[in-house]
Amino acid sequence: MKDLEFLICFYVQRFSSGDLSSIESGTCGTKGFWAAAVVGLLPAWFRFAQCLRRYRDTREAFPHLANAGKYSSTILAVIFSCLNANFGESSSFLLYLWAGTQLVSSIYGYIWDIKMDW
């Protein structure tokens, strides 16, 4: 997603300036880290909302709330991944949060896929 943001920024900057030879490529991709996080969150957010809706419609906690838990762990993993990528060099705490949420999300997703989806 970061590459897509860079690509759009670069070409918008290139064609809006009119001068195609003096483009500063270093200005693209440095401030829009939140855009990559939002795009990365959207699929998990939609599935999370679907799981909550299914629970509301059926009142069956299992499997709908358990599945919502899987997607909420994915949301946390994406958030801490983005924070660690952009602010992690100054804080090892973000590295531990990122690693922990990735581990929990991966194990939760793996177990869910083996037990429920297979």
C-beta of residue 111 within 8 angstroms of C-beta of residue 67: no
pLDDT of 70: 96
Could you tell me the two tokens for 79? Answer: 């958030």
The pLDDT assigned to 18 comes to 67
Tens of pLDDT, residue by residue over 65-114, are 999 999 999 999 999 998 888 887 877 899 999 999 999 999 999 999 99
Crossing angle (nearest 10°) for helices 2-17 and 33-58: 130
For residue 87, count CB atoms less than 10 angstroms from its CB and return exposed for 0-12, middle for 13-18, buried for 19 or more: exposed
pTM of the model: 0.77
